[in-house]
Structure 1
Amino acid sequence: MTISTDLFRQTMSLFPGAVTLVTVGQGDNRRGITATAVCSVTDTPPSLLVCVNRATDTCAEITRLKSFSVQLLDHTSDDIALAFAGAGGLKGAQKFSVGVWEETDRGLPQLTTAVASVCCELSSYSDIGSHRVFIGEIKNSALEVGDALIYARAQFGRAQATV
Structure 2
Amino acid sequence: MPIESKEFRNAMARLPAAVNIVTTDGPAGLGGFTASAVCSVTDSPATLLVCMNRSVSSCEAFRANGVLAVNTLCGSQQELSGIFAGFTGVDGPARFEAGNWGKLVTGAPVLEGALVSFDARITDLIEKGTHLVLFAEIEAIRLDEGVDEALLYFARDYRRVLAA
Aligned to 2:151: 149
User: Which amino acid in 1 is paired with 2:74?
Assistant: D
- TM-score by length of structure 1 reads 0.94
Q: What are the ranges of 5 or more consecutive residues in structure 2 without an aligned counterpart?
A: none
State the secondary structure of the residue aligned to 1:88.
coil
Q: What are the ranges of 5 or more consecutive residues in structure 1 without an aligned counterpart?
A: none
The 2-side partners of 1:28 and 1:63 are apart by 9
Name the % identity. Answer: 33
Greater CA deviation, 38-47 or 101-110? 101-110
Deviations 1:7-54 (A, max 9, x none): 111110000000001100159921100000000000000000000111
User: Which amino acid in 2 is paired with 1:83?
Assistant: I
The 1-side partners of 2:48 and 2:28 are apart by 26
User: Which amino acid in 2 is paired with 1:51?
Assistant: C
Aligned to 2:14: 14
Aligned residues of 2:106 and 2:121 also touching (Cα < 8 A) = no
Aligned to 1:133: 133
State the secondary structure of the residue aligned to 1:76.
helix
Query: Over aligned residues, Cα RMSD in angstroms?
Result: 1.6
State the secondary structure of the residue aligned to 1:2.
coil
Aligned to 1:56: 56
Shift of 1:95: 0.8
Number of aligned residue pairs: give it. Answer: 162
The 1-side partners of 2:137 and 2:159 are apart by 29
Aligned to 1:160: 162
Aligned residues of 2:28 and 2:64 also touching (Cα < 8 A) = no
The 2-side partners of 1:132 and 1:28 are apart by 18
